[in-house]
Amino acid sequence: MKLLTVMTSLLSLCAANSWPNFILIMVDDMGIGDLGCYGNNTLRTPNIDKLATGGAKLTQHIAASPLCTPSRAAFMTGRYAVRSGMAAEARIGTFVFSASSGGLPQNEITFAEILKTKGYSTAIIGKWHLGLNTEKSNDFYHHPLNHGFDYFYGTTMTHLRDCIPGNGSVFIVGLVEITKKMFSVVCLTLITLIFLNYTGHVKSPWKYFFYFLLFIIIVLVPIIFYFWNYRYFNCFLMRNFQIIQQPLLYENLTQKLTKEAVGFISRNKHKPFLLFMSYLQVHTALYASQDFRGKSKHGIYGDAVEEVDWSVGRIINELEKNQLKNNTLVYFTSDNGGHVEEISSYGEVHGGWNGIYKGGKATCWEGGIRVPGLIQWPGVIEAGTVINEPTSNMDIFSTVVKLSGSSVPQDRIIDGSDLMPLVLGKSITSDHEFLFHYCNAYLNAVRWNQRNSTSIWKAFFFTPNFNPESSEGCFNSHVCHCYEGYVTQHNPPLLFDLFIDPSEKNPITPEMEPNFYNILKTIQQATGAHQKTIQVVDNQFSWSNVLWRPWLQACCSSWFDFCYCDKEEELGMS
Ligand SMILES: *[C@@H]1O[C@H](CO)[C@@H](O)[C@H](O)[C@H]1NC(C)=O
Ligand SMILES: *[C@@H]1O[C@H](CO)[C@@H](O)[C@H](O)[C@H]1NC(C)=O
């Protein structure tokens, strides 16, 4: 008996030592300029900064997309989101209804799936945002547990202003638009009926008008009802397949996520694990728990950043406590840049800071895609390493898969590449000679890291139309868009050299740069070659895939009980 115990603990020790653990931390909408290690001197992020000083800091770490869902799809699969159909051609670029049928397709392979086959224990704690159901309200087709994770605690959706009462709505603009249109249709119908009555074509116009009005009301009322109660339908907390709190109570959420993370690490200390820690902070509506509220110098936004930092510290602490630190790779990033247009209804800045970089979330200016990238692995990655070469959040896929002793799938294109040679100093140039910057499904810009040169060229095929009052944002539409009517096309493309102009202030002209047309030619050729590799797949953001389907609505109580439940409260956990 004793021998057996010794043997099992030896075995688990071997297992623990052979493959590293992974903790992949992603913050939502955090700007690169929010962190001390990227130059912020007023926000306090000591725990995150320690990851930088204790490991490698990537200064040119690029998100595959400036928007949550496509960026996360690319992160999970190591592939541009257009390859999996997770990039929108329609107007909505992320899932905004929990009862949409779109999501990460089953034929995509996530790093969690690969690590699971290697015997890793895999968990995602926090935000998923890659779909839930597809045919029924409980088929969980796109759920994280069907994409390689053993454990899930969090939300399959995103966080939104509409999730916390009193924070306004991201749908108001759209709803006002619809109401206005309906109103003009009603007026037009009325005028037409009166005219037809006058000419003797229609006998009693009021009757028809009444029917018509009734029809409009029948359509409009449920829509308004739905959005009024948005948080009941879309902001809920799940543990694995079960909804445990609907609607979600946010104030202590990060505390709960942290407790879950710490619990997961301690449960798995004897076997290899992968933890994807995906914070809902610092997306609006902003929240922070008691201990952090009002403590930062930057309002509730700063409070939220500092709470995330605290949580990162708790997780690292737990690694230290269990002597796992030297055997664990910790990665830290944000899904996209800070959302500069987020100003609260009372005028407080609620969006992140992108430092010297232009624009933010939803644009392919550097502010939208250049995100923090930190990798710590004591004893393996030298403390204080700084990598200025272009890297991508898709690289994590290849890095994690290789380090787990697996090889990346050969039956498909993987756009990420293993980061280890770069961070270990075995290679001095990044594999990404070219990076393609997508805004939804549209190729927005291309980055050329020219070999044997300091230049990092970036050519824009189009740029978002900024609000005339501001050179930095799309304040009148709340967020920039990348489709017709909201963009300016550039032919020839707008060219920058990020090495000398990281803030993208001065487009290069043929007069300034004798090689102007050659540079563009090289970029066009690479673009052509890249575009040939993009296959047509089912778009997960087609209108029918993004719109609300009542029969897919996940609900933890009967509809008469308003989809309300709070199993967390019952357990005395919140
Ligand atoms: C630090 O971050 C805050 C909050 O995003 C921002 O307002 C401030 O300008 C930043 N400071 C520096 C020096 O970057
Ligand atoms: C972890 O690695 C560091 C750096 O190589 C080393 O100094 C330390 O002793 C190691 N700690 C353990 C517990 O092995």
Answer whether 17 contacts ligand 2 (Cβ < 6 A).
no
Q: Which atom of ligand 2 is nearest to the CA of 323?
A: 13
Give the residues surrounding ligand 1 with Cβ less than 6 Å away: 33-34, 39-43, 298, 301-302, 352-353, 355
How far is residue 318's CA from residue 330's CA, in Å, rounded to a whole number? Answer: 13
Report the separation in Å between the CA atom of 320 and the middle of ligand 2, taken as the mean of its atom positions: 11
Residue 5 in any domain: the answer is no
Report the separation in Å between the CA atom of 19 and the middle of ligand 2, taken as the mean of its atom positions: 17
Report the separation in Å between the CA atom of 318 and the middle of ligand 2, taken as the mean of its atom positions: 16
Confidence bin at 560 (pLDDT 50/70/90): confident
How far is residue 238's CA from residue 565's CA, in Å, rounded to a whole number? Answer: 11
Report the separation in Å between the CA atom of 327 and the middle of ligand 2, taken as the mean of its atom positions: 10
The total domain count for the chain is: 2
- Based on the domain organization, do 53 and 202 belong to the same domain? no
- Based on the domain organization, do 316 and 417 belong to the same domain? yes
Model confidence at 239: pLDDT above 70: yes
Confidence bin at 14 (pLDDT 50/70/90): very low
Answer whether 326 contacts ligand 2 (Cβ < 6 A).
yes
Confidence bin at 174 (pLDDT 50/70/90): confident
- Based on the domain organization, do 318 and 175 belong to the same domain? no
- Based on the domain organization, do 113 and 149 belong to the same domain? yes
- Based on the domain organization, do 177 and 264 belong to the same domain? no
Q: Which of 216, 234, 252 is the last residue of a domain?
A: 234
Whether 129 sits among the annotated catalytic residues: the reply is yes
> 88-92, 114-118, 138-142: which range is least confident on average?
88-92
- Based on the domain organization, do 293 and 169 belong to the same domain? no
> 11-15, 175-179, 234-238: which range is least confident on average?
11-15
- The residue whose two tokens read 């609620």 is 350
Which CATH number is 273's domain given? 3.40.720.10
Residue 338 in any domain: the answer is yes
Residue 573 in any domain: the answer is no
- Based on the domain organization, do 228 and 362 belong to the same domain? no
Report the separation in Å between the CA atom of 262 and the middle of ligand 2, taken as the mean of its atom positions: 21
Closest ligand, as measured to the CA of 355: 1
Residues 6+ apart with CB under 8 A from 161: 167, 168, 169, 170, 284, 285
Q: Is 131 left (phi over 0), alpha (psi -120 to 50) or beta?
A: left
Q: Which residues of 418-448 are buried (b: 16+ CB within 10 A; e: fewer)?
A: bbbebbeeeeeebbbebbbbbbbbbbbbbbb
- Based on the domain organization, do 245 and 225 belong to the same domain? no
Helix (H) or strand (E) holding 178: helix 172-198
> Following CA atoms 375, 377, 378, 380 in sequence, which dihedral angle do they give, to the nearest 10 degrees?
-110
Give me the pLDDT at residue 335, please. Answer: 98
Range of 297's domain?
A: 21-159+239-550
Give me the pLDDT at residue 570, please. Answer: 63
How far is residue 339's CA from residue 66's CA, in Å, rounded to a whole number? Answer: 10
Residue 149 in any domain: the answer is yes
Of 53, 325, 326, the one to substitute when testing ligand 2's pocket (max ligand atoms within 8 A of C-beta) is 326
pLDDT in tens, 295-341: 999 999 999 999 999 999 999 999 999 999 999 999 999 999 999 99
Helix (H) or strand (E) holding 566: strand 565-566
- Based on the domain organization, do 68 and 122 belong to the same domain? yes
Of 27, 30, 38, 43, the one to substitute when testing ligand 1's pocket (max ligand atoms within 8 A of C-beta) is 43
Among residues 115, 118, 113, which one has the least CA distance to residue 144? Answer: 113
Closest ligand, as measured to the CA of 55: 2
Among residues 91, 82, 86, 89, which one has the least CA distance to residue 68? Answer: 86
Answer whether 138 contacts ligand 2 (Cβ < 6 A).
no
Residue 516 in any domain: the answer is yes
When pLDDT is averaged across residues 417-445 and rounded to a whole number, the result is 97
Q: Residue 506: what residue type? A: N
14, 37, 61, 129: the active-site residue: 129
Report the separation in Å between the CA atom of 36 and the middle of ligand 1, taken as the mean of its atom positions: 9
Of 29, 42, 281, 297, the one to substitute when testing ligand 1's pocket (max ligand atoms within 8 A of C-beta) is 42
Chain mean pLDDT for the chain? 92
- Based on the domain organization, do 70 and 169 belong to the same domain? no
Residue 426 in any domain: the answer is yes
Residue 556 in any domain: the answer is no
Whether 482 sits among the annotated catalytic residues: the reply is no
Model confidence at 175: pLDDT above 60: yes
- Based on the domain organization, do 120 and 253 belong to the same domain? yes
pLDDT in tens, 437-446: 999 999 999 9
Question: Which residue's CA is minimally distant from atom 11 of ligand 1?
Answer: 40
Closest ligand, as measured to the CA of 323: 2
Percent of the chain with pLDDT over 90: 79
Q: Which of 215, 234, 253 is the last residue of a domain?
A: 234
Of 353, 356, 357, the one to substitute when testing ligand 1's pocket (max ligand atoms within 8 A of C-beta) is 353
- Based on the domain organization, do 230 and 248 belong to the same domain? no
318 against 479, higher pLDDT: 318
Residue 567 in any domain: the answer is no
**Exposed/middle/buried for 191, CB within 10 Å: 0-12, 13-18, 19+?**
exposed
Closest ligand, as measured to the CA of 327: 2
Q: Which of 205, 234, 263 is the last residue of a domain?
A: 234
What pTM, to 2 d.p., does this model score?
Answer: 0.93
Model confidence at 13: pLDDT above 60: no
